[in-house]
Amino acid sequence: MATYTQILYHIVFSTKHRERVLDQPRREELFRFIWGVLKNRQCHLYRIGGVEDHLHMLISLHPSVALSDLVKEVKTASSAWIKGQKVFPAFTYWQEGYGAFTCSLDQKSALIDYIRNQEAHHRQETFRQEYERLLSEVGLSIHERDKEWQWAEEQTG
């Protein structure tokens, strides 16, 4: 018998210290590169998008692939590609950690639109507000150590 799965993940991660370094003119190249990494792992990318300091992906995960391994591979490979191609000169690393949220099939179209419209969305809501809202919507809250780190960063940034 074959294996059948329908698992959609909304994955979010940011640049180190949420540095605003993913400049618009080259962002599409980064998205194409990440799409290739996902395709090589037999994962389906429904949409990828983001702004200067973070990105979102809506994917279906192949059943043989562990989510944490996939995110690590995407971040490691894209970091090496960014540095090797000098695509974003001020980029250092991706932030440690990520958010991954399962989604129902009936949410797929709305999430695709949400990810597609990140530029407009972030004129109204900061990444911090967005991330805390996403966590809250699934019953999670940001870790205290992350709150302190964010607060300190906002005071200096």
Spell out the SS3 assignment of 5-74: CCCEEEEEEEEHHHCCCCCHHHHHHHHHHHHHHHHHCCCEEEEEEEECCEEEEEEECCCCCCHHHHHHHH
pLDDT band of 140, cuts 50, 70, 90: confident
DSSP 98-110: -EEEEE-GGGHHH
CATH number for region 8-125? 3.30.70.1290
pTM, to two decimals: 0.89
Residue ranges of the domains in the chain?
Answer: 8-125
pLDDT in tens, 102-137: 999 999 999 999 999 999 999 999 998 899 899 999
Residue 156 pLDDT > 50, yes or no?
no
The predicted structure's pLDDT at residue 61: 93
Residue 152 pLDDT > 70, yes or no?
no
Comparing 127 with 142, the larger pLDDT belongs to 127
The predicted structure's pLDDT at residue 145: 57
- Can you tell me the mean pLDDT for 31-50? 97
